[in-house]
């Protein structure tokens, strides 16, 4: 077996000595890499004890700890802002973006309510014409959909069965009777309104009551035009006496059942963007590895300690290959089990500490903290003596 050289107390980092090379070109990473190697070796007992690792092992731990730190930070950001990130361009790197909360996803969710209420929505409403046959009362709209090559069926939303509205039959006995009222309306550009006289002399409720009276007259004294529909089987009342066309509006069921949105728009900026390949889930939210130089002292302290825990875990695996080693006159038992237990405990503790910090800086937690501060401040202000103003 070759004589493998272990860490000797000093090293010189050069690019290419880390597994992935994420940070090899970062000037501060290159400066700190050897310092972190010495720090980790010292934490493991060097130089009083031999450390069966090389400088490259420490560099790998350093690189992994930075990446883990960035992943935890960015995962927290994605968790808090995913509704605001959906629909943004994948090409837009979000590392240093100040994400602005917006209601665009809530609006997209509410569009389905707009569809049902027919006050908007994101589903196209189509119209069709049904051929009416003389003396035929029942019509199959499912068959109509098949005949028109519509797959998946249709959902009927409106049947235009109504007679012309009552207002078109409104007769104003005072208009054009020689009283000069109509010409007066023309002078004020109201002549095109119907009815011209009541527009000026009567409240709008008068017109509404008159229209309702005419419609009640049609409903009671004439045959009512209506329909009944169950499972897209249409029955018309009264029975059509001659051929014609009946217009209706419908949704395609495949459109309503679709769970995708091909019109994903909106960005975190004020201007809406409509880019190709929008962010759809957490794996394509565009966050890159952090820039080590940009990480502050708080983050670097966590990275150093996590790198040391990773190095301890790596050393435990190395020592676990040989439970005992021969020494002059006896054998020495290695501390693999203790190292591995300590390393895993330290890693879990550091991750929990970081996640607690990130949770404390979440938008909701910060808002709640501000509320507590305002309440505390309000209580303090009540103890301040109030001056009496004498005017």
Residue 382, domain member (yes or no): no
CB 336 within 8 A of CB 319: yes
213: left (phi over 0), alpha (psi -120 to 50) or beta: alpha
Residue 265, domain member (yes or no): no
* Mean residue pLDDT across the chain: 82
pLDDT number for residue 104:
74
170/74 same-domain check: no
- Distance of CA 187 to CAs 33, 114, 177, 202, Å? 89, 43, 17, 19
54/127 same-domain check: no
Domain that holds residue 184: 118-257
Mean pLDDT of 101-119: 79
Least confident of 53-62, 176-185, 338-347: 176-185
238/315 same-domain check: no
Pairwise CA distance, residues 236 & 228, whole Å: 7
Assess whether pLDDT exceeds 70 at residue 147. Answer: yes
Instruction: Give the other-Cβ count within 10 Å of 192's Cβ.
Output: 8
Higher-confidence residue: 39 or 389? Answer: 39
71/122 same-domain check: no
125/79 same-domain check: no
Mean pLDDT of 362-367: 89
Question: How sure is the predictor about 109, in pLDDT bands with cuts at 50, 70 and 90?
Answer: confident
pTM over 0.95, yes/no:
no
131/223 same-domain check: yes
Question: How sure is the predictor about 387, in pLDDT bands with cuts at 50, 70 and 90?
Answer: confident
Q: Which residues contact 340 (CB under 8 A, 6 or more apart)?
A: 313, 316, 317, 320
Higher-confidence residue: 104 or 318? Answer: 318
Pairwise CA distance, residues 343 & 65, whole Å: 13
Alpha helices in the chain (DSSP H): 27-43, 55-85, 104-117, 141-147, 181-187, 196-201, 204-221, 253-257, 297-320, 336-360, 363-381
- Provide DSSP, 275-343: -SSB--SGGGS--PPPPGGG--HHHHHHHHHHHHHHHHHHHHHHHHT-SEEEETTEEEE--HHHHHHHH
Least confident of 42-46, 83-87, 231-235, 298-302: 83-87
Closest CA to 142 of 161, 150, 160: 150
140/213 same-domain check: yes
127/247 same-domain check: yes
Residue 167, domain member (yes or no): yes
CB 273 within 8 A of CB 90: no
Mean pLDDT of 167-177: 51
Q: Quick one: tokens of 102?
A: 């917006």
pLDDT number for residue 325:
57
pLDDT number for residue 90:
78
Mean pLDDT of 212-225: 71
Element (H, E) at 245: strand 244-252
Pairwise CA distance, residues 278 & 280, whole Å: 6
Sheet holding 226-230, edge to edge: 138-140, 233-237, 226-230
Residue 111, domain member (yes or no): no
171/219 same-domain check: yes
> Is the backbone peptide bond immediately before 195 cis, with ω within 30 degrees of 0?
yes
Task: Report the DSSP pairing between strands 138-140 and 324-327.
Answer: unpaired
pLDDT number for residue 186:
55
76/174 same-domain check: no
Question: How sure is the predictor about 97, in pLDDT bands with cuts at 50, 70 and 90?
Answer: confident
Residue 299, domain member (yes or no): yes
Pairwise CA distance, residues 381 & 376, whole Å: 9
pLDDT number for residue 350:
97
Q: How many domains does the chain have?
A: 2
179/134 same-domain check: yes
Residue 227, domain member (yes or no): yes
CB 304 within 8 A of CB 42: no
Residue 312, domain member (yes or no): yes
Instruction: Give the other-Cβ count within 10 Å of 15's Cβ.
Output: 12
Residue 365, domain member (yes or no): yes
Closest CA to 252 of 340, 144, 386, 328: 144
CB 233 within 8 A of CB 144: no
Question: How sure is the predictor about 172, in pLDDT bands with cuts at 50, 70 and 90?
Answer: low
Assess whether pLDDT exceeds 70 at residue 253. Answer: yes
Q: Quick one: tokens of 90?
A: 């994948």
86/133 same-domain check: no
Q: Which of 257, 292, 320 finishes a domain?
A: 257
In tens, the pLDDT along 375-384 reads 999 888 888 8
> Dihedrals φ, ψ of 130, to 5°?
-100, 130
Higher-confidence residue: 12 or 119? Answer: 12
């Amino acid at each position: 077996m070759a004589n493998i050289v272990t860490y000797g107390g000093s090293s010189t980092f050069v690019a290419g000595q880390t597994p992935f090379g994420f940070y090899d070109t970062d000037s501060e990473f290159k400066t700190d890499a050897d310092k972190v190697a010495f720090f980790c070796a010292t934490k493991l007992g060097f130089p009083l004890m031999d450390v069966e690792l090389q400088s490259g092992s420490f560099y790998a731990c350093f690189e992994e700890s930075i990446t883990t730190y960035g992943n935890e930070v960015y995962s927290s950001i994605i968790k808090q802002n995913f509704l605001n990130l959906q629909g943004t361009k994948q090409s837009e790197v979000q590392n240093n973006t100040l994400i602005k909360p917006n209601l665009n996803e809530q609006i997209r969710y509410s569009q389905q309510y707009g569809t049902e209420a027919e006050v908007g929505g994101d589903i196209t409403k189509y119209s069709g014409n049904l051929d009416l046959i003389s003396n035929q009362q029942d019509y199959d709209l499912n068959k109509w959909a098949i005949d028109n090559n519509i797959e998946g069926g249709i959902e009927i939303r409106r049947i235009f069965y109504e007679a012309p509205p009552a207002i078109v039959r409104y007769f104003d006995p005072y208009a054009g009777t020689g009283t000069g009222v109509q010409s007066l309306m023309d002078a004020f550009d109201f002549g095109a309104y119907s009815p011209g006289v009541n527009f000026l002399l009567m409240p709008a409720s008068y017109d509404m009551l008159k229209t309702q009276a005419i419609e009640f007259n049609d409903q009671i004294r004439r045959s009512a035009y209506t329909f009944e529909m169950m499972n897209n089987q249409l029955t018309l009342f009264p029975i059509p006496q001659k051929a014609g066309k009946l217009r209706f509006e419908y949704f395609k069921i495949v459109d309503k059942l679709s769970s995708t949105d091909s019109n994903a728009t909106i960005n975190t900026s004020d201007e809406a963007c409509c880019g190709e390949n929008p962010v759809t889930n957490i794996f394509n939210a565009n966050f890159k590895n952090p820039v080590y130089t940009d990480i502050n002292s708080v983050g670097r302290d966590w990275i150093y300690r996590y790198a040391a825990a990773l190095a301890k875990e790596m050393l435990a695996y190395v020592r676990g290959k040989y439970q005992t080693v021969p020494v002059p006159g006896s054998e020495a038992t290695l501390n693999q089990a203790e190292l591995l237990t300590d390393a895993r405990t330290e890693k879990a503790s550091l991750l929990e500490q970081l996640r607690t910090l990130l949770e404390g800086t979440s938008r909701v937690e910060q808002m709640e903290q501000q509320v507590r501060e305002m309440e505390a401040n309000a209580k303090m202000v009540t103890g301040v003596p109030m001056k009496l103003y004498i005017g």
